[in-house]
């Protein structure tokens, strides 16, 4: 299952800007490019990241 920007925002109660800052700083996993510019996070990867 893949999560959108909006779903990641809701899951962690953070803003869109904070998501991309965290990705850039390596504090959040990189999203996968699904098609063109469509980026999504794998739920499994986020759950693994949460449990570290």
Question: Domain of 46?
Answer: 2-50
**Band (46; pLDDT cuts 50, 70, 90):** very high
Helix (H, G, I), strand (E, B) or coil at 24: helix
Q: Model pTM?
A: 0.87
Share of the chain above pLDDT 90, in %: 96
The count of structural domains within the chain is: 1
Q: What is the dihedral of CA 5, 17, 27, 24, to 10 degrees?
A: 100
């Amino acid at each position: 299952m893949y999560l959108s920007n909006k779903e990641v925002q809701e899951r962690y109660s953070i803003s869109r800007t904070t998501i991309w800052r965290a990705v850039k700083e390596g504090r959040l996993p990189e999203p996968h490019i699904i098609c063109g510019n469509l980026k999504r996070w794998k739920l499994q990867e986020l759950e693994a990241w949460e449990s570290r």
